[in-house]
Structure 1
C-alpha cells in the first residue's frame, strides 16, 4: 500500500496542491490503512472498509475532520481507479454537517431479546455469538473494545470487565446476569477452539475475533430475527445507553460506563427517551414529587 500512497502523493505534487493539503491527505490515508491493519479488515473490501473507518472516526473526530477524511479518501480512490489499481470507487457515507451526530435506529428491549433468543446455542459458534452480543448489549462497549478483551479482563466473581478504549483509558464496567451466564457457558466450551490464545472472543480458527467478525455476527442475527431496522456496529451500544436512561439511570454514570468519547451523543440519547419515562423517573426520584 505504501507504493500506492507514494504514487498518489506524487500525483498531488504534480497538481500543485499546497504542502498543507498534501500532508493532511496523506495523514488521513495512512490513518485509514492503520485502522484497517489494526482491525484485520481487508483493504480490498472497499465499501465495507471505508464505511467501517468513517463509522469509527465519528466517535473521536469533529465533523470537519471527518469531512476532510472522506474528501481525502474519495480523491485517493479516484486516483487508484484512474490508474486501474482498483475496480471501482467505493460508496462513501454522507457526513452530516450538523454537529449533532446521528446514532441511527435504536432497538427496543423486545427487539434485543428477539435477536439474542434466535441464536442456536447447540454449537460452539452459537454459544460464542450469544456471549458476544450479550457483552455488547450488557456493557455498552464498542466492537473494537470487545475484540480487545482478554480472558483476564473478565471478573466473574464480581461481574465486571476491565476495558481500555482507543486512547488507552481504562474503565471498569459491570455486567448483569444474562451476560454472566453467556460468558460462563462460552468459557466452558472455549477450549474446543483454543487453549493458548489470550483474547476472550475467538473465531473458529482459534484467533482473536476481528471487528469484521463482530459485524457479521450482529448482521446475521439481526436478519434471522427479522428486525427491519438498518443497524450498525454501534446499535447495541447506543440501545444500552438509552435503555439505562429510560429506566432512570444517572446520565453521568451512563457516560462513565461508556467512556468520555460518548459525550457528543448524550443530547441525542435524551431525544430518544420518551416523555412518559421522564415523568416516571421524576415521580420516582424527586423528593417533592
Structure 2
C-alpha cells in the first residue's frame, strides 16, 4: 500500500495542493494504514476498515481532527477508485458534533506509579522514557506538545515549561519534584545523543522524538506494569486533570494549565471525580456546610 500512498502524494502535488495540505493528508493516511496493519485489519476491506479506524481514534482526537482525517481518507479512496485499485469507495461515518465524547480510561495514582516504577533507568532509553512520562503526567501536556518542547522551553530554576499548542498559543505550566528530577537525570544523557538538536526529547538516533515514539513509550510501560485499562496517548493527560480536581484544584486552574481546548472536557472530568471527594470539598469550603 505504500506505493499507492506515494502515488497519491504525487497526485496531490500535481494538483498544486499546499505543502501543509499534502503533509496533513499523507499523515492521516499513513496513520490509518499503520493502525490497520498493527491490528491486522485488511486496508481495502472498505466500510469495515474505515469505520474501525474512525471508532479507534474517536477518543484520542478532536472532532475537527477526525473530520480532517475522514476528508483525507475519502480523497484517497477516490484516487484509488479512479485508478481502478478498489472496486468501490467506502461509506464514511457521519460525526455528530453534539455527541458527548468519552475521555477514555483514567489511571489511579497507584497505577501511574506502577508505570513509572516499571522503567529500567540503568540505560539512556529508560532515563529518557522516565523523563517523558513524568513530564506528560506532571504537566498534563499533549504528546504533540511534548515533542515540540525545546531545551529553552524548560526552566529548571523555577520549575516550569513554556508550552505551545497547535495554534501557537503559549502557556506557562509548573511541574513538580518528580518531573524535575527526571529531567535533571535525562539532560546529561541527552547530550550523548545529540549536541546539535535543540529539541528536548530525542530518539536514540539523536533526532526529535515523534508522536508515535511517545505512544510506544506509553504502551511499553503500561504493558510492563500490567495495566489492563485500554490506555491511549491522552490517558496520562486526562488522569493529570482528574487527580488535580480530586485534590481540590480550582476548575479554572485546570483549564489554564491544560489550555483552552480542554473546555469541552470539564463536565466529563467531573463525572470521574469521586463523590466522596466532592462531599469533603463541600463540607470544608461551603460557608453553610
- TM-score range (shorter-chain normalised) is 0.7 to 0.9
Tell me the alpha carbon deviations over residues 79-101 of structure 1, each in whole angstroms, 9 at most, x when there is no partner: 34443769xx99x8995654321
Tell me the alpha carbon deviations over residues 105-145 of structure 1, each in whole angstroms, 9 at most, x when there is no partner: 11111111111110110100000000000000000000010
1:48 positional shift: 3.2
Task: Indicate conservation of the 8 Å contact 2:143/2:214, yes or no.
Answer: yes
Output the CA distance in 2 between the equivalents of 1:32 and 1:212: 19
Normalization by structure 1: what TM-score? 0.79
Superposed counterparts of 1:26-41, under 5 Å: 31=21, 33-34=23-24
1:153 positional shift: 0.6
Secondary structure, aligned partner of 1:232: coil
Output the CA distance in 1 between the equivalents of 2:225 and 2:93: 26
Output the CA distance in 2 between the equivalents of 1:44 and 1:247: 37
| Cross-structure match for 2:285 | 285
User: Does the C-alpha gap of structure 1 residues 154 and 277 become closer, same or farther in structure 2, counting only changes over 3 Å?
Assistant: same
1:35 positional shift: 6.9
Q: Say how many residue pairs are matched.
A: 262
Q: Which runs of 5+ in 1 are unaligned?
A: 10-25
Task: Indicate conservation of the 8 Å contact 2:172/2:257, yes or no.
Answer: yes
| Cross-structure match for 2:177 | 177
1:3 and 2:3 are equivalent in the alignment: no
Output the CA distance in 2 between the equivalents of 1:196 and 1:168: 24
User: Does the C-alpha gap of structure 1 residues 109 and 73 become closer, same or farther in structure 2, counting only changes over 3 Å?
Assistant: same
User: Does the C-alpha gap of structure 1 residues 2 and 205 become closer, same or farther in structure 2, counting only changes over 3 Å?
Assistant: same
1:54 positional shift: 6.5
| Cross-structure match for 1:46 | 33
Output the CA distance in 1 between the equivalents of 2:250 and 2:76: 45
Secondary structure, aligned partner of 2:265: helix
| Cross-structure match for 1:13 | none
Output the CA distance in 1 between the equivalents of 2:120 and 2:93: 33
CA-atom RMSD in angstroms: 3.3
Output the CA distance in 1 between the equivalents of 2:94 and 2:110: 30
1:5 positional shift: 3.5
| Cross-structure match for 1:153 | 153
User: Does the C-alpha gap of structure 1 residues 80 and 222 become closer, same or farther in structure 2, counting only changes over 3 Å?
Assistant: farther
Secondary structure, aligned partner of 2:231: coil
1:73 and 2:77 are equivalent in the alignment: no
User: Does the C-alpha gap of structure 1 residues 56 and 278 become closer, same or farther in structure 2, counting only changes over 3 Å?
Assistant: closer
Structure 1 outlier segments of 4+, above 6 Å = 49-56
Task: Indicate conservation of the 8 Å contact 2:25/2:72, yes or no.
Answer: no
1:31 positional shift: 4.2
Q: Which runs of 5+ in 2 are unaligned?
A: 1-7, 37-52
Task: Indicate conservation of the 8 Å contact 1:33/1:43, yes or no.
Answer: no
1:256 positional shift: 0.2
1:74 positional shift: 3.9
User: Does the C-alpha gap of structure 1 residues 142 and 254 become closer, same or farther in structure 2, counting only changes over 3 Å?
Assistant: same
Superposed counterparts of 1:248-287, under 5 Å: 248-287=248-287
User: Does the C-alpha gap of structure 1 residues 279 and 93 become closer, same or farther in structure 2, counting only changes over 3 Å?
Assistant: farther
